[in-house]
A and B are shown apart, each in its own frame.
Chain A
Amino acid sequence: MKTDQHAYRLAPWRKQVKGILSVLLFLIGIFCVTMIYLSYSAQLTKMKLDIQTLHAERSELSRTIADMIMLEGQLTAFAAMETRARRAGYFDINFRDEETYTYLLVPGFTGEYHTGLDSVIRQENIAISPIKPEYSQSLQQWISENVQLRRVGP
């Protein structure tokens, strides 16, 4: 019986290299996917920790602001200011004494009007969110938004 044999064939070491490379390629692929996943997870974890830290900082800050406003309120409380003023040598104006108190008509002056706007502190709400949109939207949404932006942009 005659057996056909190739004139040449892959050397065994080449087969081994090919096998190893295939396995390596497969492993590299898995490694890349794993790295992407780990990187994604790590960034998101960091951001979530940031969110909690910022939340704690914001809570502390808002408490401190409230405390500072109260401290200012205590320092400028009517009784406290009056006591300080008297200690500093100030005294009540005698409104009957025309040398110290007089009424002037100022043309164009329509009167004193306090809106309180300057003194009252408005506490703005700032949302805590270091999460990039990429992490909270699908790839399709992200692409469509970016494509739209490019179309609209200059």
Chain B
Amino acid sequence: MKNSIDSRFKALSIGITVFMGIVVFRILFLQTNASAIELKESIGQAFEYTTLTINSERGNIYDRQGYLLAGNTISYTVSLNLQASNGHGEFIANYLAPILNMDHETIKKAAEVKFEASKAVEMPLTNFATREQIEKIDLVKKYLKDRPSTGFESKTTTQENLNSVLYYPNVHRSYPNGDLASNIIGFYPYLNPAAGASYGIEQYFDNILSGETIRHRFSLDPNVPENIPSLPQGASIVLTIDRKVQSIVEDSIKQAVENNQAKSGTIIISNPKTGEILAMATYPRINLNEYWESATVFTKDNRFNPAVMQPYEVGSVFKVITLAAAIDAGVIKPETVYNDTGTYESMGVSIYNWDRGAWGPQTMVGCMQHSLNTCLSWMAEQLGTERFYEYLEAFGLNRPSGIELALEDYYPISKPGDNFWTPINLPTNSFGQGIMTTAIQMIAAVGALANDGIMMKPYIVKEIYFDDHTEVTQPEVIGQPISAESARTVTEMLATSLDVEASDALMEFTRVAGKTGTGEIAKEGVGYVLNVTNASFVGWGPADDPEFVTYVWLQEPLINIWGSEVSAPLFSEVMNAIYPYLHLPTDRQLACLHTEECPPADSEDHYYW
């Protein structure tokens, strides 16, 4: 009996030992076999980790008072889980079509797309459902879940519900003001983010505006402690523009372009003392929420933001630069007399005035009043070729202005020694022909005349808010092309000449200096075309202590081609409308403050104190 028990124990021990041996062998096999390791890793991938998407939003853009110009908003992607939706298309479409404002048949077809685990699992319906629509879907889901059912229904119809409807939140770019300042802001294509930001601030500051998106592998193993990384937000940008002023200017330029049937229109207003841009309006513009329209609205000859992207021959507006250079070099004085015979001969080429007229003896103020090409050609020759082009360099006309807007363009000035330069360029360049500049280059250059000869770098970004610090743009002096005395002299001359040249440009609130320009347009293979012009005006004031410089440009107006008749009155209209918003006193208000007796309101005199 005892031997029998012993032998059974021995057999049991051997059995257990063999079993343990097999288990140990199997463990060793699983830990060393390649396919077993691969299987373990694939299971590990599926169950040991989860992938979390972490993103930081794109920074916002504000106007100078903190009103939002570009931000982000939530939309939802609504999709159908095909495994659950197959066979219930009619039911799902009945509920979803009115909520999502979609075609019933489209939803039904989407729901009935055959489920295939390796190919078709989910079918998106829309990427831009609103929060209200999602709340309605949730309400319907809840109603279907909670609704009472009969025993019969519980086996049949209650099988139908909206559990197959899934939704995920997205954040996308949105522009609450539509087309306001669209030429400055640019756009971020939310339908195709891979294309990247285009134009304006969005493109120029894409690096610092853009949020970051990473996919983080998060271990589900409780023995592996780890945090989810935090990403820095995209920086927010505050612009120098005031949206009220911008809006008034945009309305005016739109009216002017439409009334004159112009190809495009541009108005820039800047502060010459700092270089900050107060408004930069162009027309046509697009609603940035429908950014795809840019492909059809803008062309090579009509850019997204012509103020910085489109150099053109500015015409007689350029004469203020030649005049300033000649005054500063001391080759002329305001009272210097030029005898205009109607033509000016240079290198065997005759130069005529805009009206082909001869104006006889004229002071330099008279030359500007009548915008005499002959006089300016003579002035440039008095100045000399080398000095003339040195002044143009000093006025920054041979380089981009450096404003913080993407795709700024400039046209290199052809100088002596360059391939395309001939001696006739000097007189023609002096009155703005054969030389191309952008509106932003001109406003920066003329800003020097309004700021005692000191040229400020134009800027449109006031502040940049990073996560941990704020950068405030400081005004930057980029040169002094002429002396303060010359600048004041030129301002006074052009304030005087404006009375005669373009009285429509005069403002009712303050005395201004300015110059009109009607630049002919050279077409490829044809040359300068009759009656196709760029009508421009540059003005600054108050003449005694300028606080603004305004540049107006209408491209190819058809109804009236003259800068003095189209752009000059537009300058006056715009500046009279926005003047109070610049927080500047009128000349009469200042006279009231500085004199004992306030001048009468209906007086047409200018006021001095």
Asked if A and B are interacting partners, one says: yes
Give A contacts to B, CB under 8 Å.
41-42, 44-45, 47-48, 51-52, 55, 59-60, 62-64, 66-67, 69-70, 72-74, 76-79, 93, 95-96, 98, 101-103, 105, 111-112, 114-120, 122-129, 131, 135-136
Contact with A along B355-367 (1 / 0, CB 8 A): 0000000000000
**Distance in Å: Cβ of A86 to nearest Cβ of chain B:** 14
Choice from B176, B465, B467, B508 contacting A125 with Cβ under 8 Å: B467
Q: Please report which residues of chain B, range 222-237, place their CB below 8 angstroms from some CB of chain A when the two chains form the complex.
A: 222-223, 225-228, 230-233, 236
Q: Complex formed: what's the CA distance from A60 to B57 in Å?
A: 12
A67 touches B131 (CB 8 A): yes
Choice from B67, B218, B225 contacting A44 with Cβ under 8 Å: B225
B223 touches A44 (CB 8 A): yes
Choice from A47, A55, A95, A111 contacting B583 with Cβ under 8 Å: A111
Contact with A along B39-71 (1 / 0, CB 8 A): 000000000001010100100101011111101
Q: Complex formed: what's the CA distance from A125 to B74 in Å?
A: 20
A131 touches B225 (CB 8 A): yes
Q: Complex formed: what's the CA distance from A111 to B585 in Å?
A: 12
Tell which of A48, A72, A111 has the most Cβ of chain B within 10 Å: A48
Q: Complex formed: what's the CA distance from A98 to B222 in Å?
A: 76
Indicate whether A62 sits within 8 Å of B57 (C-beta atoms), given known contacts A70-B71, A125-B231, A127-B230.
yes
Say if the beta carbon of B238 comes within 8 Å of chain A: yes
Give B contacts to A, CB under 8 Å.
50, 52, 54, 57, 60, 62, 64-69, 71-74, 131, 169, 171, 174, 176-178, 180, 218, 220, 222-223, 225-228, 230-233, 236, 238, 243-244, 247, 462-463, 465, 467, 470, 472, 508, 579-580, 583, 585-586, 589, 593, 601
Please indicate the chain B residues that have their CB under 8 angstroms from the CB of A72 in the complex: 68
A119 touches B227 (CB 8 A): no
B227 touches A127 (CB 8 A): yes
A78 touches B73 (CB 8 A): no
Beyond A44-B223, A112-B583, A127-B227, 8 additional contacts (C-beta under 8 Å) are: A44-B225, A48-B222, A55-B54, A66-B74, A73-B71, A95-B579, A116-B462, A131-B227
Q: How many A-B residue pairs have CB under 8 A?
A: 135
**Distance in Å: Cβ of A56 to nearest Cβ of chain B:** 9
Some 12 contacts from A to B, beta carbons below 8 A apart, are A66-B73, A67-B72, A67-B131, A70-B71, A73-B68, A101-B580, A103-B586, A116-B238, A117-B470, A120-B465, A125-B230, A131-B226
Please indicate the chain A residues that have their CB under 8 angstroms from the CB of B236 in the complex: 120, 122
B74 touches A76 (CB 8 A): no
Please indicate the chain A residues that have their CB under 8 angstroms from the CB of B579 in the complex: 95
Please indicate the chain A residues that have their CB under 8 angstroms from the CB of B60 in the complex: 69, 120
A63 touches B169 (CB 8 A): yes
Q: Complex formed: what's the CA distance from A101 to B176 in Å?
A: 31
**Distance in Å: Cβ of B55 to nearest Cβ of chain A:** 8
A120 touches B62 (CB 8 A): yes
Please indicate the chain B residues that have their CB under 8 angstroms from the CB of A123 in the complex: 57, 233, 467
Q: Complex formed: what's the CA distance from A111 to B131 in Å?
A: 43
